C-alpha cells in the first residue's frame, strides 16, 4: 500500500479507518513537487485538529543524502540553509544534537557519511541506514563498537567526536572542528593518512589534521599505549552491535552495506508492526507521552520514503503528537518501518524553496514561531 493508492481510494479507506477509530482529513490535493516527489497536507488525525505535512519520495528518481550544519565541520544551521546550499528539492531535520559549549552542533547519535564515521551513540537507539544507490536500507536499534589498531595492537575507543572525560579515549575527526578542545592531562596521537606522525604528552587542544584524526586519551585511562610510536600504522575498526535488534533485516552485513547512517529515537515501526514498548531506547516518559512537534522518516512496502512533520504548540490548531500517536500515524500511512527523528522546535520540512510547516518553540506559556538552527538534515536532490 502506498500513499498514492490511499489517495485514490480515500473514501473507502476513510470508512475502514473510521471503523477502527482512526480518522484522516485530507486538507488539500496531492501535489507533484518534482519527478518522484509528492507533497500532501492533512489537518486532522483521529478527529483531532493537527497540522501534518507529508512528502512521499520515489528513491529511483532522486538522491537522498545526510547533510550537516557547516558542510565541512559540525555546527548549527537552518534546514532551509542546508537545503539551499545543496539545491535540494526537499529537506527535513534529522538527528538529535548537543548544545553545550564544547559540543555545540555535534550529533548526539550515530552519524555516518560514506566511509566517514562522524558520531556514535552511548545507547542502543534507532538508526536509519541506506546505500548510496538507495537499493538498500535498514531501520533498527543499533550500537557500534570502535577500536583503533596501532601496528598489531588493538585498543578500545570510547566515543567519536564527543567530550573526553575521565578515563576516556576519543577519536576526533576534522568535522569536529579545528582542534580537540581537550585539557592538557592526556596523550594525543596525531594520525595522518593512516600513520602516526606525532605523539603529544600532557598536551591538549591539538590541531586536528585535515587528512587524518586524533586519538585523544585521558591520563587516567587504563590503556597501555607505551609501545605505540611515531611511524606506526594506524587503522580504525568498526563493528555493529545488533544484540537488541527488532527487525529481521538487521544484521552486521546489512549495516555494512549502508553508506549513510543517521540516528534518531525511538524506532516507531519494525517489519510492519507498530512498536509498543519504547523502554529499550531509554527515552524519558515526557519525551514519549507528551505532545510535541514531531519529525519522522518511514519506508513503504514499495520502498518509497515518507517524510512527515507534525506541527505543535499551536492550541486548537495542532498540539503535536505523542510517540505512540506518531507510530500509529506512520503505520496508517502504510509504512513498514519508521523512525522518530529530533522534534520539538527542531521539526522543519523544506519543500521547493520554502519551509512548508510552522516551526515553533515553547517557553512556558510563550510560543515563538520560526525556524531553529539544527545540526543535520536529510536532503532530497534531483538524480541528475
Q: Tell me what pLDDT residue 25 has.
A: 57
Residue 245, phi then psi, degrees to nearest 5: -65, 150
Chain segment 153-172, per-residue pLDDT in tens: 999 999 999 999 999 999 99
What are the cell numbers at 91? Answer: 529537506
Do 267 and 194 share a domain, yes or no? no
49/45 Cα distance (integer angstroms):
7
Do 250 and 339 share a domain, yes or no? yes
Q: Tell me what pLDDT residue 368 has.
A: 94
Q: pLDDT per position in the chain (384 positions), as tens?
A: 444 445 445 434 443 443 444 445 556 679 999 999 999 999 999 999 999 999 999 999 999 999 999 988 999 999 999 999 999 999 999 999 999 888 999 999 999 999 899 999 999 999 999 999 999 999 999 999 999 999 999 999 999 999 999 999 999 999 999 999 999 999 999 999 999 999 999 999 999 999 999 999 999 999 999 999 999 999 999 999 999 999 999 999 999 999 999 999 999 999 999 999 999 999 999 999 999 999 999 999 999 999 999 999 999 999 999 999 999 999 999 999 999 999 999 999 999 999 999 999 998 889 999 999 999 999 999 997
Query: Facing residues of 97 across strands?
Result: 107
Do 136 and 268 share a domain, yes or no? yes
DSSP 157-226: E-EESS---TT-EEEE-GGG-SB----SSEEEEEEETTEEEEEEES--SPBPPTTEEEEEEETT-----T
**Domain count along the chain:** 2
Do 310 and 200 share a domain, yes or no? no
Using alpha carbons, select from 53, 51, 56 the residue that is nearest to residue 2: 56
Element (H, E) at 103: none
Q: Computed from CA positions of residues 288, 307, 111, 82, in that sequence, does the dihedral angle turn out positive or negative?
A: negative
Element (H, E) at 330: helix 323-332
Q: Where among 232, 251, 273 does a domain terminate? A: 232
CA 23 → CA 10, 15, 45, 222, distances in Å?
11, 9, 5, 58
Q: Are 378 and 59 in contact (CB under 8 A)?
A: no
Q: Where among 213, 232, 251 does a domain terminate? A: 232
| Domain assignment of residue 244, given as a range | 3-145+239-382
Chain segment 74-127, per-residue pLDDT in tens: 999 999 999 999 999 999 999 999 998 889 999 999 999 998 999 999 999 999
145/164 Cα distance (integer angstroms):
17
Amino acid at each position: 500500500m502506498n500513499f498514492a493508492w490511499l489517495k485514490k481510494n480515500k473514501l473507502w479507506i476513510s470508512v475502514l479507518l473510521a471503523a477502527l477509530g482512526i480518522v484522516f482529513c485530507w486538507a488539500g490535493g496531492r501535489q507533484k513537487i518534482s519527478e518522484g516527489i509528492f507533497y500532501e497536507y492533512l489537518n486532522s488525525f483521529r478527529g483531532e485538529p493537527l497540522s501534518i505535512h507529508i512528502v512521499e519520495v520515489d528513491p529511483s528518481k532522486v538522491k537522498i543524502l545526510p547533510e550537516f550544519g557547516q558542510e565541512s565541520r559540525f555546527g548549527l544551521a537552518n534546514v532551509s540553509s542546508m537545503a539551499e546550499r545543496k539545491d535540494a528539492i526537499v529537506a527535513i531535520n534529522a538527528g538529535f544534537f548537543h548544545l553545550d559549549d564544547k559540543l555545540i552542533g555535534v550529533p548526539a547519535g550515530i552519524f555516518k557519511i560514506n566511509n566517514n564515521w562522524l558520531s556514535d551513540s552511548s545507547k542502543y537507539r534507532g538508526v536509519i541506514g541506506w546505500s548510496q544507490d538507495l537499493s538498500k536500507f535498514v531501520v533498527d536499534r543499533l550500537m557500534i563498537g570502535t577500536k583503533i589498531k596501532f601496528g598489531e595492537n588493538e585498543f578500545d575507543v570510547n566515543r567519536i567526536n564527543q567530550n573526553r572525560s575521565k578515563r576516556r579515549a576519543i577519536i576526533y575527526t576534522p568535522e569536529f572542528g579545528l582542534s580537540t578542545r581537550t585539557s592538557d592531562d592526556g596523550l594525543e596521537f596525531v594520525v595522518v593518512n593512516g600513520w602516526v606522525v606525532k605523539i603529544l604528552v600532557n598536551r591538549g587542544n591539538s590541531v586536528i589534521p585535515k587528512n587524518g584524526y586524533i586519538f585523544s586519551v585521558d591520563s587516567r585511562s587504563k590503556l597501555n599505549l607505551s609501545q605505540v610510536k611515531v611511524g606506526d600504522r594506524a587503522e580504525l575498526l568498526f563493528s555493529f552491535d545488533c544484540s537488541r535488534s527488532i527487525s529481521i533485516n538487521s544484521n552486521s552485513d546489512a549495516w555494512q552495506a549502508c553508506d549513510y547512517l543517521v540516528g534518531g529515537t525511538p524506532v516507531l515501526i519494525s517489519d510492519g508492526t507498530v512498536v509498543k514498548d519504547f523502554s529499550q531506547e531509554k527515552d524519558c516518559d515526557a519525551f514519549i507521552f507528551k505532545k510535541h512537534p514531531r519529525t519522522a522518516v518511514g519506508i513503504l512496502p514499495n520502498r518509497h520514503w515518507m517524510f512527515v512533520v507534525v506541527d505543535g504548540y499551536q492550541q486548537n490548531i495542532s498540539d503535536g503528537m505523542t510517540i505512540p500517536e506518531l507510530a500509529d500515524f506512520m503505520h496508517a500511512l502504510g509504512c513498514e518501518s519508521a523512525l522518530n527523528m529530533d522534534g520539538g522546535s527542531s521539526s522543519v520540512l523544506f519543500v521547493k524553496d520554502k519551509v512548508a510547516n510552522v516551526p515553533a518553540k515553547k517557553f512556558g506559556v510563550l510560543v515563538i514561531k520560526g525556524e531553529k538552527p539544527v545540526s543535520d538534515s536529510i536532503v532530497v536532490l534531483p538524480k541528475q
